[in-house]
Amino acid sequence: MVTYETEEVGQYGKTTSTDGRFWQLSALAAILGGLLVVGVGLALFTVLNEAEFVYADPLGAVGFLLIMVGLPAFYLHERDWFGRVAKLTFAMVALGTVVTAVALPIAIYGPGIAFLGFVLGFLVTVVGAFGFGVARLRADVRPKLESWLFVAALPVGLPLAYGFTTYVMGETADPWAGPMVFFGFAWVVFGRQQLRRTRDAR
């Protein structure tokens, strides 16, 4: 089996200052976006009231927008090992993330029906992330933590959020909180790796 060391994929050895800034900005966007999504996901575990959503929703919207900014760099870095399954599932992640990033601010500041777009978009995202994470593990791409986080987002995050809010907080709410935590953390891992590669390429 071929092992893909992602630090060596993508020709990082000699980058121009413009290239370096692109990778660095994408890494920072991934880290900040991932942290915001993780933070909002954790906050949702506490079963937020309507007043608290006034603060949480915009932070979540910014988080998904920043992750969307990191998508092109993620694709450029990962594409060398892509097979058919990886291409399909990455397309699902990308499309779902874009729909999520666009629908959430519309739902916050416009018609509430747009929230359905957020739910559907995020569902497509985490289903795609599960398949992409499995494909990444099968290709033995490093770091594996990123792959496991993508895989865990739906089958671990969803029941975790449901069980915690139901049996600990006493109110079933926001089942996507768990998937948000795992999915966001995966982007933090990617961003940190990206920053390290950018520094090493200088």
Read out DSSP for the chain? ---EEGGGTT--SS--HHHHHHHHHHHHHHHHHHHHHHHHHHHHTT---HHHHHHHHHHHHHHHHHHHHHHHHHHHHHGGG--HHHHHHHHHHHHHHHHHHHHHHHHHHS-TTHHHHHHHHHHHHHHHHHHHHHHHHHTTEEPHHHHHHHHHTTTTHHHHHHHHHHHTSSS---TTHHHHHHHHHHHHHHHHHHHHHHHHH-
- pLDDT value at residue 120: 96
Check pLDDT > 70 for residue 131. yes
Q: How far apart are CA 74 and CA 116, in angstroms?
A: 27
pLDDT greater than 80 at residue 3: no
What residues are paired with 5 via a beta bridge? 142
**What pLDDT does 2 receive?**
52
Look over the chain and give the mean of its residue pLDDT values, rounded to a whole number.
89
Comparison of pLDDT for 8 and 55, the residue scoring more: 55
Q: What is the pLDDT of residue 61?
A: 96
Residue 111 has pLDDT above 60, yes or no: yes
pLDDT at residue 17, rounded to an integer = 53
Q: How high is the pLDDT of residue 30?
A: 96
Contact 47, 171 (CB under 8 A): yes
Residue whose token pair is 């139901």: 166
The arithmetic mean of pLDDT across residues 14-19, rounded, is 54
For residue 198, the model assigns a pLDDT of 77
Question: What does the alpha-carbon distance between residue 192 and residue 29 come to, in Å, rounded to a whole number?
Answer: 11
- Please give the pLDDT value at position 15: 46
Q: Is the pLDDT of residue 6 over 70?
A: no
Which band of pLDDT confidence, cut at 50, 70 and 90, is reported for residue 19?
A: confident
Q: Is the pLDDT of residue 147 over 70?
A: yes
Tell me how long the chain is: 202
For residue 27, the one-letter residue type is A
